[in-house]
């Protein structure tokens, strides 16, 4: 059974009669044709397209008023997007998606409802469990996913300047300033004591995002930090 969680934290399990069958994965490869030559040439980095999929099936009940109530509850739930969509209720991976509507076909004098819920996941990755890993000095973080992860790094107290280095990639985060420092590697945000401080971080971070790789990551930090992330999958 498909499990859903909305932006309010409410959870809903769809009936067995609803299915999530086709899971798309589209890759966009930018290219440019060359005049007078066969084929074309790749002009940029391949990227994953947003995923569009459909939750579909039926809602059945002898009491047609109960079907109407079930539909009202579901539509109200879907209005609080984004929706985390788990392919099965026991699954620990989800796509974060927005519903694009809910076309309905009423059958058998209202005792049966055929329902389609098209959805789009603008972020095409599956996300798994959330983790917080403390690092002091040098430590190892292991990610179980298949795709790179962009964590949130926070000093565990007030710090004077911060340097965090990744042993495998050689990428370094350097923040100049004092206070509680937080670096959001996904959204390119830096705060010191809650104040936006993107100008305090090194230019390399802005040009080349700092990520955790699938598997083992050796991290060295100048101050004790907490590294927060979700395991991520293609």
- 138 with 80, same domain: the answer is no
Q: 163-202 pLDDT, tens per residue?
A: 999 999 999 999 999 999 999 999 999 999 999 999 999 9
Dist CA 34 CA 40 (whole Å): 6
**Same domain, yes or no, for 13 and 67?**
yes
Taking the C-alpha atoms of residue 212 and residue 25, their distance in angstroms, rounded to an integer, is: 22
Looking at 76, 92, 124, which one is the last position of a domain?
124
Average pLDDT of span 149-172: 96
How does pLDDT run across 104-118, given as a tens digit for each residue? 998 876 568 899 999
Number of H helices and number of E strands within the chain? 2, 22
Instruction: Answer whether residue 89 shows pLDDT above 80.
Output: yes
Residues 141 and 208 in one domain: yes
CATH number, domain containing residue 166: 2.60.120.860
Integer Cα distance of 133 and 118 in angstroms: 37
CATH number of the domain within which 70 lies: 2.40.30.200
User: What does the DSSP 8-state code read for residue 111?
Assistant: T
pLDDT 10s digits, 204-223: 998 988 999 999 999 999 99
Q: Looking at residue 110, what is its pLDDT?
A: 59
Looking at every residue in the chain, the average pLDDT score rounds to: 94
Q: How confident is the model at residue 58 (pLDDT cuts 50, 70, 90)?
A: confident
- Do 32 and 111 belong to one domain? yes
Q: Which two tokens stand for residue 194?
A: 């809650």
Nearest to 78 by CA among 4, 2, 18: 4
Instruction: Out of 124, 143, 163, pick the residue that ends a domain.
Output: 124
**pLDDT exceeds cutoff 80 at 61:** no
More confident residue, 133 or 66: 133
Q: Which domain holds residue 80?
A: 3-124
Shared domain for 145 and 49, answered yes or no, is no
Give the model's confidence band at 63: pLDDT under 50 very low, under 70 low, under 90 confident, else very high: confident
* DSSP three-state, residue 206: helix
Residue 62 pLDDT > 80, yes or no? no
Note the pLDDT of residue 59.
85
Contacts of 204 (CB under 8 A, 6+ apart): 171, 172
113 and 217, same domain (yes or no): no
Shortest CA distance to 152 belongs to which of 137, 130, 170, 136?
A: 130
Q: Which of 70, 94, 124 is the last residue of a domain?
A: 124
Judge if 119 and 21 occupy the same domain: yes
Angle at 7 between CA 66 and CA 15, to 5 degrees: 35
Same domain for 13 and 119, yes or no, is yes
Structure tokens at 50: 């947003």
Residues 132 and 103 in one domain: no
Q: Are residues 108 and 147 in the same domain?
A: no
Do residue 139 and residue 118 come from a single domain?
no
Count how many domains the chain has.
Answer: 2
Same domain? For 34 and 48 the reply is yes
Q: How far apart are the C-alpha atoms of 113 and 124, rounded to whole Å?
A: 30
pLDDT at residue 122 tops 80: yes
């Amino acid at each position: 059974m498909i499990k859903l969680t909305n932006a309010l934290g409410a959870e809903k399990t769809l009936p067995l009669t609803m299915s999530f069958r086709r899971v798309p994965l589209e890759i966009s490869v930018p290219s440019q044709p060359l005049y007078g030559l066969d084929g074309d040439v790749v002009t940029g980095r391949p990227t994953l397209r947003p995923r569009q999929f459909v939750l579909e099936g039926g809602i059945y009940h002898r009491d047609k008023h109960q079907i109407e109530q079930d539909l009202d509850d579901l539509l109200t739930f879907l209005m609080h997007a984004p929706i985390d969509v788990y392919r099965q209720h026991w699954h620990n991976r989800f796509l974060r998606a927005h519903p694009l509507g809910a076309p309905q076909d009423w059958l058998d004098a209202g005792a049966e409802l055929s329902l389609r819920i098209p959805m789009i996941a603008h972020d095409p990755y599956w996300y798994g469990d959330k983790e917080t890993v403390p690092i002091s000095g040098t430590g190892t973080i292991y990610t179980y996913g298949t795709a790179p992860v962009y964590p949130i790094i926070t000093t565990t107290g007030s710090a004077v300047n911060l340097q965090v280095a990744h042993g495998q990639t050689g990428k370094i985060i350097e923040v100049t300033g004092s206070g509680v420092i937080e670096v959001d590697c996904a959204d390119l945000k830096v705060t010191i004591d809650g104040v936006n401080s993107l100008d305090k971080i090194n230019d390399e971070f802005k040009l080349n995002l700092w990520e955790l790789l699938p598997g083992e990551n050796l991290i060295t930090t100048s101050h004790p930090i907490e590294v927060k992330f979700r395991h991520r999958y293609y």
